[in-house]
Amino acid sequence: MKKIDKQIFDIAVPSIVSNITVPLLGLVDVAITGHLGAASYIGAIALSGILFNIIYMNFGFLRMGTSGLTAQSYGRRDKENIVRLLVRSLSISAGFALLLILLQIPIRETAFLVMRPTDAVRQFAVSYFNICIWGAPATLGQFALTGWFIGMQNSRIPMTIAIIQNIVNILMSLLLVFGFGMQVEGIAFGTLTAQWCGFVMGLLLCRRKYFSNKKMFGKLYSPFYYLSPNTGKNGGETTSYKQFFVLNRDIFFRTLCIVSVLLFFTSAGSWQGEVVLAVNTLLTQLYILVSYIMDGFANAGEALSGKFYGERKKRYIGLTVRRIFLWGMVAATAFTATYVIGGKHFLMLLTDEQTVVKASSEYVRWAYLLPFCSLAAFIWDGIFIGITASRQMFQTMFVATSVFFIVYLLTSGAMGNHGLWLAMICFLVVRGVMQTWLFPKIMRRTA
């Protein structure tokens, strides 16, 4: 195996493991609520989970922006800026978390007004939300830490944190619900405890790995120093607050485009009835499985392309792109073959509702296209984050989002749900094609 391949897998594999732990947490929460004796408990957890996912998804820039800038500073061996980025990312995440806590009532009431849950579901969902919102500082802080760790070419620490956090969540939820009879509140406090344990663990591991030995960062220990402007190493390459916010602004608007597409995709499915909504939900699980693997390769792309960009080694960036695409195509081929051979059987494992199973056979072929159609979009996102091409990322996403809605409007009347899936495939393909076209232009400008 080539050295670059080892570097790719050293980052990608722990990231994939971290991704896989995410659905296990939701599965356990649903399993626990499923034994509380009322469907309203399950609805409350599901509703609150969707709300928090939407809220936190919009702050993904805290991870992605930090990752690319840190990787570049790591490549330049600019220790001062590496620490500055960590302190700034954590301070900004704390500011946004405080804002979420202060605005929790209007956020909660607006969300539930739109979602319109039943009175029973709303009662339990409000209880869950009121507790878990206090985990915002820990969650956003973990976004900043995870991005910083990946930029430092280290995805093992985020993997360790994810595993321990999930274990704490499961154990605390079981103890509080079945040991102390706290019902939904027990699950919420279990989640809250796990979030803070994960954040504190991240801080401790960060200190132990990078700050326990003064040889690593010398005397760079004053947080107040890192909140102030400086010139830094290499004559002004240190990241200013303006650069940091411009980068994160572009990533934020890009995220809004993704959220709008995903929310519309779900809503458009629900407009066609419960069966179509159920089918789309099941097929989306096949897409999510692909995303766990591709996200791992994207993280490797972030870390390595950012490092080589900081080192001014353009040839190695090109090598990284080629090797990640090679391994991505291997993964996409494996997924496609698996879905073609066993996709229908997998869907039957998820539901025994024959109406849904029968309807899914009409649309499952769209799932066959997902691995290869999404491959370039995932990998280029990682590369673009690493080389901090955030403006091009947003422009690409804006065009792809426009194409999604145009294709849907043109085809939904005649094609129904097939038109919706065609729009989604076009959304993924346009992103990949445009970024493939833009990448050489970006590299020429940065020569």
Interval 235-262: pLDDT, tens: 444 556 777 777 888 999 999 999 899 8
Distance CA 400, CA 258 (A): 10
Answer whether residue 234 shows pLDDT above 50.
no
Which is more confident, 240 or 415?
Answer: 415
* Contact criterion met (CB below 8 Å) for 48 and 126: no
Answer whether residue 440 shows pLDDT above 60.
yes
| DSSP H or E segment with residue 282 | helix 274-310
| DSSP H or E segment with residue 293 | helix 274-310
- Lowest-confidence segment of 88-97, 228-237, 263-272 by average pLDDT: 228-237
Q: What integer best gives the mean pLDDT of the chain?
A: 86
Which is more confident, 222 or 20?
Answer: 20
Token pair in block for residue 271: 């407009």
Backbone dihedral angles phi then psi of residue 123, each to the nearest 5 degrees: -55, -50
Answer whether residue 203 shows pLDDT above 90.
yes
Strand, helix or coil at 181?
coil
pLDDT digits (tens, 9 = 90+) for 290-345: 998 999 999 999 999 999 999 988 899 999 999 999 999 999 999 999 988 887 77
Q: Which sequence spans correspond to the domains of the chain?
A: 1-239, 244-447
Q: What is this structure's pTM?
A: 0.87
Distance CA 52, CA 50 (A): 6
Which is more confident, 355 or 154?
Answer: 154
Q: How confident is the model at residue 214 (pLDDT cuts 50, 70, 90)?
A: low
- Lowest-confidence segment of 43-47, 105-109, 185-189, 367-371 by average pLDDT: 43-47
Mean pLDDT of 396-421: 93
Which is more confident, 1 or 413?
Answer: 413
What is the per-residue pLDDT for 280? 82
Q: How confident is the model at residue 445 (pLDDT cuts 50, 70, 90)?
A: confident
- Lowest-confidence segment of 193-197, 228-232, 433-437 by average pLDDT: 228-232
Question: What b/e readout covers 118-157, taking b as 16+ CB neighbours within 10 angstroms?
Answer: eeebbebbbbbbebbbbbbbbbbbbbbbbbbbbbbbbbbb
Cα dihedral 232, 84, 71, 75, rounded to 10, equals 30
pLDDT digits (tens, 9 = 90+) for 278-301: 788 788 888 888 998 999 999 999
Distance CA 430, CA 432 (A): 5
Answer whether residue 436 shows pLDDT above 80.
yes
Q: How confident is the model at residue 116 (pLDDT cuts 50, 70, 90)?
A: confident
